[in-house]
């Protein structure tokens, strides 16, 4: 493992008077969230061990994305890294490689992992684990997931058996720390993924308490789409002399994504939404409420368009089952609340439909980011009732996107074209 530069002493057990995020110690790199051009730097040239690069190659991942090319040299060298980039820019691999590399050849004591990855949702924790597992298996690193909504018994058993890396959500992790099933006193690498969403969900106080229990000299990698307010304070408190890399900030919508506003009357909304759901590829339909997601999924299925729902009222096994059905292509339509705006990563989603416009512009961009991932094209449709026209106009201005606007009725050719993505 590469030796690390000396660190300043941290406050409150885990905090340190780190360099402010607004003035990082190293230069900021800026790029777009698309694959690097042919002939760009390879993973091994960035310092990734050949054994890990080979695992990626078996999955067809051979060329680093900009966020990976920017952050990997610093992260592999043991630096604290602040990575900013929209969802779909390749952040998971960017922190997976240095985390597994740092833990390779190490052995953790029961209940005392050496690495910690915090995520805002169970779905994201599971997807991070799925990405890391082949790398971990090839390196002899034992991993487990910890989150609420399921019985803690199997999680406690896994910890007792000994794991090098824990991936999970802050709430359940803190519960197990308080019950003394889990100690973070040996953690060497801590990753905060989708940190702005952690803040949106109110997790930052828990995150701070967890960081306070990790050792002062540990490496911290923080990835976020935005760096405002609470995130900046978190960086200044817990990252030591961080290097910052910004790749395709969330304020800009991805280039291959087209945006459309469909003005509909309330009486026509259900039929127009059903029409949009009938296309051949994967599509995600967003509603504002859990009840709305459940009801719409049932209506679509009854209309001959098989759909599954994803929201906070579902038990974890149902959430996992529905997401698996959507990810595998068994069902092509997912109806979700904002839990899926940042909680899932599924490629080849051709269309996102805001059945109910989101409350604010960041939610719009994060929902929309489920399509047009990894350089692929995608379309985003917002269904707008007459009384919503003003708020949607303000939302698109703040999101800095340009959308085509049309009045729509059931059966319109324009709606059929959008449904075909």
**Could you tell me the CATH number of the domain that includes residue 376?**
3.40.50.300
- Across 368-378, average pLDDT: 73
Token pair of 168, please? 């999970």
The pLDDT tens digits for 337-349 are: 987 666 667 778 8
- The residue assigned the tokens 């339509």 is 333
* Vertex 380 angle, CA 202 and 365, to 5°: 30
- Across 304-327, average pLDDT: 89
Among the three residues 193, 216, 247, which one is the final residue of a domain in this structure?
A: 247
Cα–Cα distance for residue pair 323/309, rounded to 1 Å: 8
- Checking if the pLDDT of 4 tops 70, the result is no
207 with 345, same domain: the answer is no
SS3 356: coil
Binning pLDDT at 50, 70 and 90, where does residue 368 land? confident
Number of compact structural domains in the chain? 2
Could you tell me which residues are beta bridge partners of residue 384? Answer: 263
Binning pLDDT at 50, 70 and 90, where does residue 14 land? very low
160 with 286, same domain: the answer is no
Cα–Cα distance for residue pair 11/13, rounded to 1 Å: 6
Name the pairing type of β-strands 143-146 and 115-118.
unpaired
The pLDDT tens digits for 206-231 are: 999 999 999 988 999 999 877 777 88
- Checking if the pLDDT of 27 tops 70, the result is no
In a domain, 359, yes or no: yes
Binning pLDDT at 50, 70 and 90, where does residue 117 land? very high
327 with 398, same domain: the answer is yes
234 with 281, same domain: the answer is no
- Checking if the pLDDT of 45 tops 80, the result is yes
* Contact call for residues 88 and 162 (beta carbons, < 8 A): no
* Sheet strands (E) in 225-286: 243-247, 257-263, 282-286
- Across 340-367, average pLDDT: 83
Among the three residues 247, 275, 306, which one is the final residue of a domain in this structure?
A: 247
What pLDDT does 362 receive? Answer: 81
Q: Other C-beta atoms within 10 Å of 38: how many?
A: 6
**Mean pLDDT, the chain, integer:** 85
For residues 317, 129, 166 and 233, what is the CA-based torsion angle, rounded to 10 degrees? -100
169 with 54, same domain: the answer is yes
274 with 161, same domain: the answer is no
Taking the mean position of all CA atoms in its chain, how far away is CA 186? 26
180 with 271, same domain: the answer is no
In a domain, 398, yes or no: yes
Taking the mean position of all CA atoms in its chain, how far away is CA 193? 7
In a domain, 328, yes or no: yes
What pLDDT does 20 receive? Answer: 32
In a domain, 24, yes or no: no
Cα–Cα distance for residue pair 418/248, rounded to 1 Å: 26
What pLDDT does 196 receive? Answer: 84
User: Which of 83, 117, 84 shows the shortest CA–CA distance to 100?
Assistant: 117
- Checking if the pLDDT of 247 tops 80, the result is no
In a domain, 111, yes or no: yes
- Across 128-139, average pLDDT: 96
355 with 265, same domain: the answer is yes
> Going by C-beta distance under 8 Å and a sequence separation of 6 or more, which residues neighbour residue 42?
53, 62, 63, 64
For residues 83, 86, 90 and 91, what is the CA-based torsion angle, rounded to 10 degrees? 30
205 with 299, same domain: the answer is no
184 with 58, same domain: the answer is yes
Q: Which of 152-161, 380-389, 409-418 has the lowest mean pLDDT?
A: 409-418
In a domain, 252, yes or no: no
208 with 345, same domain: the answer is no
- Checking if the pLDDT of 93 tops 50, the result is yes
129 with 49, same domain: the answer is yes
- Across 52-70, average pLDDT: 92
In a domain, 37, yes or no: no
In a domain, 33, yes or no: no
Among the three residues 247, 280, 299, which one is the final residue of a domain in this structure?
A: 247
- Across 47-53, average pLDDT: 96
Q: Which domain holds residue 230?
A: 44-247
């Amino acid at each position: 493992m590469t030796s690390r530069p000396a660190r300043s002493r941290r406050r409150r057990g885990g905090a340190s008077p780190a360099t402010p995020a607004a003035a990082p110690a190293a230069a900021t790199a800026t790029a777009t969230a698309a694959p690097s051009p042919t002939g760009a730097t390879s993973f091994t040239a960035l310092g990734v061990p050949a054994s890990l690069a080979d695992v990626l190659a078996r999955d067809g991942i051979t060329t680093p994305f900009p966020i990976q090319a920017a952050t990997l040299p610093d992260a592999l060298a043991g630096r604290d890294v602040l990575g900013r980039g929209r969802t779909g820019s390749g952040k998971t691999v960017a922190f997976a490689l240095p985390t597994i590399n740092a833990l390779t050849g190490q052995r953790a004591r029961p209940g005392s992992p050496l690495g910690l990855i915090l995520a805002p949702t169970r779905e994201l924790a599971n997807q991070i684990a799925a990405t890391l597992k082949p790398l971990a298996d090839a390196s002899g690193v034992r991993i487990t997931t910890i989150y609420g909504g399921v019985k803690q018994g199997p999680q406690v058993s896994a910890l007792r058996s000994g794991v090098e890396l824990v991936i999970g959500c802050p709430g359940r992790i803190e519960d197990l720390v308080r019950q003394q099933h889990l100690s973070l006193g040996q953690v060497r690498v801590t990753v905060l993924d989708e940190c702005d969403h952690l803040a949106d969900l109110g997790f930052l106080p828990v995150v701070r308490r967890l960081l306070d229990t990790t050792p002062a000299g540990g490496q911290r990698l923080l990835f976020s789409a935005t760096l405002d307010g609470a995130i900046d304070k978190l960086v200044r408190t817990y990252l030591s002399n961080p290097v910052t890399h910004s790749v395709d900030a969330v304020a800009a919508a991805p280039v291959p994504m087209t945006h459309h506003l469909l003005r509909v009357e309330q009486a026509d909304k259900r039929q127009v939404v059903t029409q949009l759901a009938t296309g051949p590829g994967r599509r995600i339909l967003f509603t504002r409420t859990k009840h709305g997601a459940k009801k719409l999924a049932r209506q679509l299925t009854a209309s001959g368009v098989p759909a599954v729902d994803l929201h906070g009222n579902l038990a974890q096994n149902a959430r996992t089952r529905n997401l698996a059905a959507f990810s595998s292509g068994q069902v092509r339509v997912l109806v979700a609340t904002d839990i899926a705006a940042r909680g899932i990563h599924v490629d080849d989603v051709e269309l996102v439909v805001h059945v109910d416009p989101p409350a604010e512009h960041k939610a719009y961009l994060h929902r929309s980011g489920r399509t047009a991932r990894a350089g692929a094209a995608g379309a985003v449709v917002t269904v707008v009732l007459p009384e919503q026209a003003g708020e949607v106009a303000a939302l698109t201005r703040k999101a800095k996107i340009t959308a085509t606007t049309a009045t729509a009725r059931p059966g319109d050719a324009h709606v059929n074209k959008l449904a075909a993505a």
